[in-house]
Amino acid sequence: MTLAVQERVELQALNTLAVPAVAEYFAELTEPAQLDEVLAEARDRQWRVTVLGEGSNVVLAETLSGLTLVQRCRGISVLEQEADAVCLQVAAGENWHGFVSWCLDRDYFGLENLALIPGTVGAAPIQNIGAYGVEVGRFVERVHCRELPSGTPLVLTREECEFDYRNSIFKRKWQDRALIESVTFRLPLTPSPVTGYPTLARWLEEHGDGDPTPRQVFDGVVTIRRSRLPDPGDIPNVGSFFKNPRISGRALGQLQADWPELPHYADERGGHKLPAAWLIEQCGFKQRDAAVRVHAEHALVIVNPERRPAPEILELAEAIADAVHQRFGILLEQEPRNYGFTSGGGRG
């Protein structure tokens, strides 16, 4: 099916922060066969290509020049079923939470801690989505991409994806240079629930019989998330605006001298992790009542109920980062990606 490229398309409904933005050129991919044609047109017309999924981890400027391509291709196929695992190839446009539920319904385990994370399957490897003690990277076998702008197929193995804390090769070497078409997952058929995360462990203790099933983990995660996080459909947001900072044991010791109550967690990759939400709260941002503000239940989430433009969001983010730096000497790293800005860390 031929893909129509549209001009000047509104993106406010296509980003969960609901900032007003316009794509200079725009196309929604629904069939894999449309890709070659649209990439050829982008090359001919020398358009820069921006790929979006559900827009839940981006901050968009007023205008996105070039072509904004939204990945909506769907489909899940079972590639192989072994005695202890299943291999699934999933099109990038599948909704992440829908895919997690689909797996659990078939007793394909492992993804239950990642329930209710907004967005698409194709975006999941980009920042190695993670929650409640699990990261998607451990279940990814391969990521099938096209190089941009050439369209040449590219397949990366899990090792080649270089998954890290909310990071991967797609935020480094392949940033803006790869479009993800599908992801191959290998999921265990034997349950091995990850229940150690404190809020989840508490919920399971209160609601279970001491031997939690993946379904209970899924239910617990969904319930906790609904109680703590604003639904972007009601109050626009992009989830955590900053990553939780990771520091060395020495830096932690120095901070604890001034802040003995500082919460911290062992980082599974070495060192320590600090909850950015706590640092932000100490700087008084929860008390601020403004059009763009931090969420009353969770200081790490910037909310945009009045659907204000991106510069107002980034202004608050900068004020938060400056305050945390001044008070704790810690540099917060923004998690959602800026698009269309000419300065301030965004892509021009």
Site for ligand NAP in 248-267 (CB under 6 A): 265
Burial 52-67 (b: 16+ CB within 10 A, else e): bbbbbbbbbbeebebb
> Do the beta carbons of residue 35 and residue 181 sit within 8 Å?
yes
> What's the CA gap between 126 and 162, in Å, rounded?
10
Residue 197, contacted partner among ligand FAD, ligand NAP, none, CB below 5-8 A by kind: ligand NAP
Residue nearest to ligand NAP (CB): 239
H-helix segments, 229-306: 249-258, 276-282
* 167 scored as a contact of ligand NAP (CB under 6 A): no
> What's the CA gap between 20 and 60, in Å, rounded?
8
2 is written with which tokens? 């031929």
Residue 27 corresponds to which amino acid?
A
Among 85, 115, 123, 161, binds ligand FAD (CB under 6 A): 123
> What's the CA gap between 113 and 297, in Å, rounded?
21
Residue 126, contacted partner among ligand NAP, ligand FAD, none, CB below 5-8 A by kind: ligand FAD
120 is written with which tokens? 């698409």
93 is written with which tokens? 């446009």
Among 244, 304, 334, 338, binds ligand NAP (CB under 6 A): 244
* 92 scored as a contact of ligand FAD (CB under 6 A): yes
Residue 35 corresponds to which amino acid?
L
* 142 vs 264, beta carbon nearer ligand NAP: 264
* 156 vs 320, beta carbon nearer ligand FAD: 156
CA angle, corner 204, sides to 202 and 206, nearest 5? 70
Q: Would you mind telling me the total number of residues written for the chain in this entry?
A: 348
Task: Mark the segment that binds ligand NAP (CB under 6 A) among 11-19, 30-38, 80-88, 126-134.
Answer: 126-134
335 annotated active-site: yes
Residue 34, contacted partner among ligand FAD, ligand NAP, none, CB below 5-8 A by kind: none
* 113 scored as a contact of ligand FAD (CB under 6 A): no
Half-sphere exposure at residue 73, Cβ-oriented, CA atoms within 13 angstroms: 23
Task: Mark the segment that binds ligand FAD (CB under 6 A) among 79-87, 231-239, 252-260, 274-282.
Answer: 231-239
Residue 16, contacted partner among ligand NAP, ligand FAD, none, CB below 5-8 A by kind: ligand FAD
Binding mask of the shown chain, residues 277 to 316, with x at each position contacting ligand FAD by CB under 6 A: ----------------------------------------
Binding mask of the shown chain, residues 174 to 213, with x at each position contacting ligand FAD by CB under 6 A: ----xxx---------------------------------
Among 47, 99, 132, 339, binds ligand NAP (CB under 6 A): 132
Which backbone phi and psi does 24 adopt, to 5 degrees? -60, -50
* 218 scored as a contact of ligand NAP (CB under 6 A): no
* 131 scored as a contact of ligand FAD (CB under 6 A): yes
Residue 55, contacted partner among ligand NAP, ligand FAD, none, CB below 5-8 A by kind: ligand FAD
Q: Can you list the pairs that 39-46 forms with residues at least 24 positions away whose Cβ atoms lie under 8 Å?
A: 39/146, 39/148, 39/149, 39/150, 39/151, 40/151, 41/5, 42/66, 42/67, 42/149, 43/149, 43/150, 43/151
Q: Judging by DSSP bridges, how do beta strands 6-10 and 246-247 pair with one another?
A: unpaired
Site for ligand FAD in 48-87 (CB under 6 A): 51-58, 71
Instruction: Give the interface with ligand FAD as residue ranges (CB under 6 A).
Output: 16, 51-58, 71, 92, 117-120, 122-124, 126-127, 129-131, 166, 178-180, 229, 232, 237-239, 337
Enzyme catalytic residues: 166, 240, 335
